[in-house]
Chain A
Amino acid sequence: EVQLVESGGGLVQPGGSLRLSCAASGFTFSRFWMTWVRQAPGKGLEWVANIKEDGSVQYYADSVKGRFTISRDNAKNSLYLHMNNLRAEDTAVYSCEGGADADYWGQGTLVTVSS
């Protein structure tokens, strides 16, 4: 059974940092691009970043460029999102996605940025 399980969310003050993790199982993680997507409360989906199979290429949404870093460890079947200088507008459920054709989605982890 394919599983993507996110962790690391929580409450953080503006300007703070968090590292999210996504543990993958049930498919060959190292073969696929992986992606972080977020959804603010009551809002739509927003693409955050994605990373090539070997980690050599990353793309970021303008809203997070320079503050967030996506990375992966294929030996651990894990995807990460390092988030710095967090803002209130970064409050959202963060989900990881992967597979050949957006096959697999996690349930997400909630990040709340508030003082």
Chain B
Amino acid sequence: NAGVTQTPKFQVLKTGQSMTLQCAQDMNHNSMYWYRQDPGMGLRLIYYSASEGTTDKGEVPNGYNVSRLNKREFSLRLESAAPSQTSVYFCASSESYGGPLLEQFFGPGTRLTVL
């Protein structure tokens, strides 16, 4: 039982390049999330998927797209990377969306630098 896995662990991009961050969970959770973490700002929600087949914008969606490929996988795409997207990205999953079952399980993170 690996929990939540993310690839890659580290990435350096040049401005304008694109990339996809991959996330998978093996806990049969319905809901998945992408966050970014910046110093002093805690975690901010980029996009989430309350259930398979649905995705919605979070607090900071601009510059990102997501795909809920199936129940296990939720990817985050940067179409044209900008230095402002330099951050640590975390994927998380939870059994359900909202309420006491909202306990989220986090992956180890992807550290992205955009030059």
The answer to whether A and B come from one shared complex is no
Chain A residues packing against B (C-beta within 8 Å): none
Chain B residues packing against A (C-beta within 8 Å): none
